[in-house]
Amino acid sequence: MHLQNDSTNYKFCPHCSGALEQRLIKQTEPMRLVCIKCDFIFYLDPKLAVGTIIVNKENHILLIRRAIEPGYGKWVFPGGYVDRGEEVIAAAIREAREECGLKVQIERLVNIYSYAGSAPVIIVYETSVIEGQLACDDEGLEVRFFPPSEIPWDNLAFKSTREALHEFLKI
C-alpha cells in the first residue's frame, strides 16, 4: 500500500470547517481524511508535473541550476506543475519558455516517473529548440547546455532528474 505522508497537514473540512480525522474506509486503500461533522472525504490526489529534456543541434542537454528549494544550487531540466485544465504538452512548453527563455517543440515522451510516498507524478518529454535567447528566470541561478559526457550526475536536484536523463541517454 502506498503512503500518504502529507495527509496530516490538513486539519479542517473545506466544506463545513469540521475537524478531519483519519479513517480506514476500504481495507485495500490508504487511510482517508474524513470530516467528523459532514462525512466529506478529503481525497489527496497526486500532483501532476511535467519536465522537458531540451536538446540543441549539437545534441547537448539544457540544465538549470536551481535558485529555490528543494534542491537549491542543484541542476535540473525545466519543469513544473501542470495547472488544472491545462494540456500537459502546453504546460511543458510554457515551463521551458519561463525557465530558460526558449521556445521548444515536443519530440517524444521519455517516460513517466512516480515514487511511493511522494505526491508528484512527473511526465518527461524530449524537446528541440525552435527559437529564443537563453535566459534564467527567478527560479534559476544559471542555465547552460551540457554535452552528455559532462552531465553533473552527482549534483542533480531530484531522483526523477537522474532517472530521466539516464533513460534518455541510455546510460
Q: Give me the active site residues, please.
A: 142
Residue 76 · residue 156 · CB < 8 Å: yes
Q: What is the rounded CA–CA span in Å between residue 160 and residue 77?
A: 10
Judged by CB under 5 A, does residue 19 bind Zn ion? no
Judged by CB under 5 A, does residue 13 bind Zn ion? yes
Please, which residue, 35 or 151, has the CB nearer to Zn ion? Answer: 35
Question: CB 10 → Zn ion: shortest distance, Å?
Answer: 12
Q: What is the rounded CA–CA span in Å between residue 168 and residue 162?
A: 10
Total residues contacting Zn ion by CB under 5 A comes to 8
Judged by CB under 5 A, does residue 15 bind Zn ion? yes
For residue 84, CA distances in Å to 47, 88, 129, 158 come to 10, 10, 26, 23
State which of positions 149-168 bind Zn ion (CB under 5 A).
Answer: none
State which of positions 24-63 bind Zn ion (CB under 5 A).
Answer: 35, 37-38, 40
- 3-state secondary structure at position 129: strand
Query: Under the rule (CB under 5 A), what is the footprint of Zn ion?
Result: 13, 15-16, 18, 35, 37-38, 40
